[in-house]
């Protein structure tokens, strides 16, 4: 049964919970003096190429836990004890932290920003019967991965389905009826995130006579001129750009310099606030799909996170909703399962759970744990993006998978 979250913003208790030591994970059903608690290990990137994503997630989680617990850090008297760990975007380190946490009794792991880390932690969760709620990691492989794996953010398929809806609305017939003869090139980094985008574009857009190719750049590459040259030489009708991390500015500058933005329709996801200046002259040349547009939604949770961030002097960003959602999901799981509830009880509580989040209504699909949610088309209005249209969760829902 879903119970309404309390909206009091007494931040001190939540901040204290989030300030726990990052040296040694552990969990007990009851702490000193018989106080009940459930420990949560937030394993994410606060260093490495996705550090900014991890920080956005953590701030969102802090605000979400405050909202879900009425500022107490507790659910029905059960303390949510949070410890944070930096995986640095390294799968081996992430797995080590997950195994150590599980071995010391932690029953909930959350937070992963890197897809390559998330796909390695998911089996650890299943082996140890630990509830795992991944964060910004977008790879489709997490959906249906196993009984214990969930997600608090969107997945790559939802990005690509959003692009498809946008392109259908913008189709001008230049490539033939229904896009027949269109050539799409996916520009991405050669990692789990990039490869997942290639697979998703092939499955969603690579139909009806559309050809899909890819140009994958080494994640460590700083000189992207050879990459841009390959994209332009392919003579695509559309370029789908899936890029994450600190080299985004260099990538967009290079694409503009090499004439790619003028030679094809370029579609990409709206990135973090720090990337807004990166687009430069590309702003008017790029079609934006968006997981979240900061400050553009008006759900009760969006208002709550705005108030909390305002007191902290923070600004909402791309992955704020992922952290906020995770805290809401954990609060619901603990509320239904209690301090003594095992992971199976928490899984049962989350399957089919519908809740209002920062973006709007979310549903955890019971069959494969996909998080169904609205997506957006955006465009720049001056220095900031604005929502052009909101796509209903059903319009961009991935096909249901069987849990592995």
Nearest to 44 by CA among 132, 156, 146: 132
Does the structure show a pLDDT above 70 at 324? Answer: yes
Nearest to 330 by CA among 8, 21, 38: 38
Alpha-carbon distances, residue 89 vs 61, 112, 152, 201, 246 (angstroms): 19, 9, 18, 24, 13
pLDDT of residue 29: 45
What is the residue-wise DSSP string for 30-48?
B-GGG-BEEEEEEEE-SSS
pLDDT of residue 179: 55
User: Average pLDDT, stretch 15-44?
Assistant: 59
pLDDT of residue 168: 77
User: Average pLDDT, stretch 240-254?
Assistant: 85
Q: Which DSSP letter does residue 22 get?
A: S
**How does pLDDT run across 273-282, given as a tens digit for each residue?**
988 887 777 7
Does the structure show a pLDDT above 70 at 283? Answer: yes
The region of weakest confidence among 151-155, 217-221, 348-352 is 217-221
Residue 117 in contact with residue 54, Cβ under 8 Å? no
**How does pLDDT run across 62-116, given as a tens digit for each residue?**
999 999 999 999 999 999 999 999 999 999 999 999 999 999 999 999 999 999 9
What is the residue-wise DSSP string for 226-265?
HHHHHHHHT--SEEEEE--STTHHHHHHHHHHTTHHHHSE
Coil vs helix vs strand at 51: helix
User: Average pLDDT, stretch 339-355?
Assistant: 94
pLDDT of residue 160: 87
pLDDT of residue 253: 87
- Percentage of the chain with pLDDT > 70? 89
Distance in angstroms (rounded) separating the CA atoms of residues 61 and 68: 10
- Percentage of the chain with pLDDT > 90? 69
pLDDT of residue 35: 54
pLDDT of residue 311: 97
Cα angle at 167 between 391 and 264, to 5 degrees?
140
Cα angle at 331 between 370 and 82, to 5 degrees?
105
Band the pLDDT of 170: cuts 50, 70, 90: low
Task: Give me the count of residues in the chain.
Answer: 404
Residue 150 in contact with residue 329, Cβ under 8 Å? yes
Q: Which DSSP letter does residue 183 get?
A: E
Please name the residue that has the structure tokens 């040296």: 23
Output phi, psi for 343, to 5 deg: -60, -35
Nearest to 360 by CA among 403, 395, 313: 395
pLDDT of residue 388: 92
Angle (deg, nearest 10), helices 115-128 and 91-103: 20
pLDDT of residue 171: 63
Does the structure show a pLDDT above 80 at 270? Answer: yes
Angle (deg, nearest 10), helices 343-350 and 320-337: 120
**How does pLDDT run across 373-399, given as a tens digit for each residue?**
999 999 998 888 999 999 999 999 999
Residue 83 in contact with residue 24, Cβ under 8 Å? no
By 3-state DSSP, what share of the chain in percent is helix, strand and coil, each rounded to 5? 40, 20, 40
Coil vs helix vs strand at 7: coil
Cα angle at 282 between 277 and 287, to 5 degrees?
110
User: Average pLDDT, stretch 214-240?
Assistant: 93
Distance in angstroms (rounded) separating the CA atoms of residues 13 and 2: 23
Mean pLDDT of the chain: 88
């Amino acid at each position: 049964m879903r119970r309404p979250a309390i909206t009091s913003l007494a931040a001190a208790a939540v901040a204290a919970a989030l300030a726990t030591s990052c040296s040694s994970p552990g969990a007990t059903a009851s702490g000193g003096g018989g106080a009940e608690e459930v420990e949560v290990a937030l394993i994410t990137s606060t260093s490495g190429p996705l550090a900014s994503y991890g920080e956005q997630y953590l701030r969102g989680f802090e605000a979400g836990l405050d909202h879900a617990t009425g500022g107490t850090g507790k659910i029905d008297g059960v303390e949510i004890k949070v410890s944070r760990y930096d995986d640095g975007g390294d799968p081996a380190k992430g797995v080590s932290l997950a195994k150590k946490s599980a071995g010391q009794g932690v029953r909930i792991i959350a937070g992963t920003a890197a897809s390559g880390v998330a796909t390695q932690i998911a089996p650890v969760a299943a082996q140890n019967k630990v509830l795992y709620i991944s964060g910004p990691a977008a790879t489709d492989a997490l959906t249906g991965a196993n009984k214990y794996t969930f997600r608090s953010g969107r997945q790559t398929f939802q990005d690509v389905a959003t692009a498809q809806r946008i392109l259908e609305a913008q189709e001008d017939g230049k490539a033939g009826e229904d896009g027949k003869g269109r050539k799409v090139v996916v520009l991405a980094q050669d990692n789990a995130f990039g490869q997942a985008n290639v697979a998703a574009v092939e499955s969603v857009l690579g139909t009806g006579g559309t050809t899909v190719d890819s140009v994958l750049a080494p994640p460590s590459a700083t000189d992207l001129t050879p990459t841009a040259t390959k994209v332009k030489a392919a003579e695509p009708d559309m370029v789908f750009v899936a890029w994450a991390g600190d080299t985004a500015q260099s990538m967009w500058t290079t694409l503009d310099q090499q004439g790619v933005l003028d030679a094809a329709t370029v579609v990409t996801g709206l990135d973090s606030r720090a990337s807004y200046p990166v687009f430069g002259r590309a702003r008017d040349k790029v079609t934006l799909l968006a997981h979240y547009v900061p400050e553009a939604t008006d759900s009760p949770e969006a208002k709550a996170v705005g108030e909390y961030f305002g007191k902290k002097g923070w600004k909402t960003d791309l992955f704020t909703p992922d952290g906020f959602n995770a805290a809401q999901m954990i609060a619901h799981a603990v509320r239904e399962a209690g301090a003594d509830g095992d992971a199976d009880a928490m899984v049962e509580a989350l399957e089919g759970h519908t809740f209002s989040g920062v973006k709007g209504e979310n549903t955890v699909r019971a069959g494969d744990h996909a998080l169904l949610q609205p997506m957006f088309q955006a465009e720049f209005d001056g220095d900031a993006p604005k929502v052009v249209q909101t796509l209903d969760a059903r319009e961009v829902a991935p096909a249901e998978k069987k849990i592995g």
